[in-house]
Structure 1
Amino acid sequence: MPEKFIEVKEVNLKNNCPVCYSNEHLQITFYQKIKESKLYKWLTSEVKNEMTCANCESTIYPVQWTDDIERVYDYHRKAFHPNKSTFRLKVLGWVVIVFVAIVLVGVGFTLFYSKL
């Protein structure tokens, strides 16, 4: 079952990059986890984020953050609202459920009429 993260929101920051010291090139990207199989598609509530610099193309890890970056990050994390967690069956999932329901009804009728 492949799990991947889809991009939900990207925010440009006006802070200096701690690596290259360029201004207004930092970006926070929020991702939400999605699980998909042949039977269903499930958008989970699990969220991760990543901070990058568009100028030097490096990932900025929390160890490198300044107090200003941390304050701005906390603000955007609190303001971010992920998509609702959803679970949807695909066509094959519905076919399996209908088949199992028909088999259970058939077994129930067989047991009921065999006692008569």
Structure 2
Amino acid sequence: MPKKFIEVKEVSLKNNCPVCYSNEHLRVTFYQKLHESKLYKWLTSEVKNEMTCVNCESTIYPVQWTDDIERVYEYHLKAFQPSKSSFRLKGLGLIVIFFVAIVLAGIGFTFFYSKL
């Protein structure tokens, strides 16, 4: 079952990069976890994020954050609204459930009429 994170929102920060010290090149990207199989799609409420510098193309880890970056990050984290968690059956999943329901109904009728 492939699990992947889909991009939900990207925010530009106007802070200096702690690696290359360039201004206004930081980006915070928020991702939400998606489980997908042949039977269903499930968007969970699990969220992760990543901060990168566009100028030097490096990932900025929380250890490297300054107080200013942390304050701006916390603001955007509070403002971020992830997509609602959802579960959707695909066509094959609907067919499987339909056939299982028919089999269970058949077993139920057979059991009920065998008692009479």
TM-score for the superposition, normalised by structure 2: 0.99
Counterpart in 1 of 2:88?
Answer: 88
Identity level (%): 84
Counterpart in 1 of 2:102?
Answer: 102
SS in 2 for 1:28: strand
> Alpha-carbon deviations, 1:26-53, whole Å to 9, x = none?
0000000000011100000000000000
Counterpart in 2 of 1:64?
Answer: 64
SS in 2 for 1:92: helix
TM-score for the superposition, normalised by structure 1: 0.99
- Structure 2 Cα separation of the partners of residues 112 and 32 of structure 1: 47
Counterpart in 2 of 1:52?
Answer: 52
Paired residue total: 116
Moved over 3 A (4+): none
Runs of at least 5 residues in structure 2 that lack an aligned partner in the other structure: none
> Alpha-carbon deviations, 1:62-94, whole Å to 9, x = none?
000000000000000000000000000000100
- Structure 2 Cα separation of the partners of residues 44 and 81 of structure 1: 13
1:115 to partner: Cα distance:
1.2
